[in-house]
Amino acid sequence: MKLSQIVQTLESAGFAPAFAREPLADPELSDVCTRTEQVSHGALYCCIKGFKTDGHTFAKEAERRGAGAFLAERPLATSLPVVLVQDSRKAAATAAAAVHGFPAEKLSLAAVTGTNGKSTTAWITRSILRAGGISCGLLGTIVYDDGKREEPADRTTPDGPSVQRWLARIAANGGQACVMEASSHGLDLHRLECCRFDALAFTNLTPEHLDFHGDMESYFQAKRRLFTDHARPEARFVLNVDDPWGQRLAELFPERALPYGIGQGTGLRGQILAMGLDGTDLEISVPGGETPIRVRSPLVGLHNVSNVLASVGIALSLGMAREAIREGIENLPPVPGRLQRFRFGNGVTCFIDYAHTPDGLEKALKAVGADCRGSVHAVFGLGGERTVENRPLMGRVAADLADTVVLTMDNPRSEDPRTIARQIEEGLQGVRLRSHSVILDRKEAVHAALDSAVSGDVVLLAGKGPETTMILADGPVPYNDEESVREWSRTRGIPILS
């Protein structure tokens, strides 16, 4: 696309672009990037002011890599064309949408927001859509999937240009739909510009990211932006009314709300028929008085019943048939790092889960402990440079719901992991907890917990989920909980049965 056409698009969107100086040529631009490592020949490099770095300072590196023009908030020392806008972050997504032919308009889009449950809900939704014959991509915390190939995700919601690039790949691969996780950061930082969704779901809201948002009301308002700014005119809002923030959204948007919850009530409701460490039998009542849907979910825990209901609500909003809903749930591929189960030959069961908030840890421990015949062992830490007030709360949750606790590292970043562990220890006061230890090396901590478990026990490894790195002061180093579990199995000669 010609630079002049991108400028026209920005003008139409109200960005009031202006050239730092009139360009001598009108270059053809093939991509839009906000990071220099993404720059290829003929890309529009967008200079974004970040929280730690300023993209304007990397303009020369982008030019060296072949950038064809710049989008910036101030003039640059370059001979390339520079388009000036007031908010280059927001304009970058719009420019990318134009370059890639507005791919969001070619797809049915579903979005999931909330503190916990986004990844699992999106994973189930993709499975249901595919069961119904819909070619569907996925953008979320676990993977980015263009319908033909999956790549590890580096953040829940990619930057704006990357979202458009992925949507274009999905459309080019013959995709008909995409399910996306919408993070509060992504919404506040305009990563979903030019995306309008046909179905939007809200799972819950609990304290997290308050270092970024400041307070719960600001956090809620960031989530609310999905429904006010990114909904297509006929979109349905699938809202968890078991959560007070979801109930608030339902009251704000009564005509568009499809409320869901566990137990009796109106809207979309789930009745639990049986629940154990192998899965959950459900009867799902749907609006309109139709016959309830009976389904066997492979997922464990009460919170996953809620995630299933959110996915069913999205699927119904997109017109999916009941049989596709049942098939998509019952044949769901394992969700990486979301109560990912390992049964060992010695009778011990281990779960890997991404839970890294007090609410998430509570739900995970209740899920694995509900049908446990022995002791519950919890291994977890908490990330550095994040919500400090959650640390003793995590300890209190673990002390109430686990028999033994091993505190360890979980992305300490620039903080001393011993300090984080001590702050978690302050909350380790509960009638159930028998013992705890601190083993900062996470692989050693995992192995120690599995060594101490006996037949009938459950071990929960919380916080890292499917992540493949540990973020230390000097940057990320390789680490993965599943690899640690499999290494323990191999070195102890104890087979993984399932």
The total domain count for the chain is: 3
Q: Let me know whether 311 and 350 are in one domain.
A: no
Q: Is the predicted pLDDT of residue 431 greater than 90, yes or no?
A: no
- Picking from 47, 82, 99, the residue at the C-terminal end of a domain is 99
Q: Let me know whether 289 and 265 are in one domain.
A: yes
Q: Let me know whether 9 and 45 are in one domain.
A: yes
Buried b (16+ CB within 10 A) or exposed e, 69-100: bbbbbeebebebbbbbbeebbbbbbbbbbbbb
Q: If pLDDT is split at 50, 70 and 90, which confidence band does 2 have?
A: very high
Q: Give me the amino acid identity at 315.
A: A
Q: Where is average pLDDT lowest: 258-267, 270-279, 293-302?
A: 258-267
- Amino acid 447: pLDDT: 98
Q: Let me know whether 49 and 111 are in one domain.
A: no
Q: Let me know whether 357 and 223 are in one domain.
A: no
Summarize the confidence of residues 423-427 as an average pLDDT.
97
Global pTM reads 0.92
Q: Let me know whether 79 and 183 are in one domain.
A: no
Percentage of the chain beyond pLDDT 70 is 100
Q: Is residue 335 part of a domain?
A: no
Q: Let me know whether 317 and 345 are in one domain.
A: no
How far is Cα 454 from Cα 145, in angstroms, rounded to an integer? 39
Q: Give me the amino acid identity at 323.
A: E
- Amino acid 474: pLDDT: 95
Q: Is residue 497 part of a domain?
A: no
Q: If pLDDT is split at 50, 70 and 90, which confidence band does 265 have?
A: confident
Residue 2 φ then ψ, to 5°: -70, 145
Q: Let me know whether 418 and 463 are in one domain.
A: yes
Q: If pLDDT is split at 50, 70 and 90, which confidence band does 209 have?
A: confident
pLDDT tens digit string along 136-182?
999 999 999 999 999 999 889 999 999 999 999 999 999 999 999 99
Q: Let me know whether 279 and 312 are in one domain.
A: yes
Q: What is the CATH number of the domain that holds 318?
A: 3.40.1190.10
Q: Is residue 174 part of a domain?
A: yes
- Picking from 99, 115, 138, the residue at the C-terminal end of a domain is 99
Q: Let me know whether 316 and 458 are in one domain.
A: no
Q: Let me know whether 269 and 365 are in one domain.
A: no
Q: Let me know whether 36 and 144 are in one domain.
A: no
- Picking from 99, 115, 137, the residue at the C-terminal end of a domain is 99
Q: What is the CATH number of the domain that holds 371?
A: 3.90.190.20
Angle, vertex CA 309, rays to CA 307 and CA 315, nearest 5: 105
Print the domain residue range for 454.
Answer: 340-492
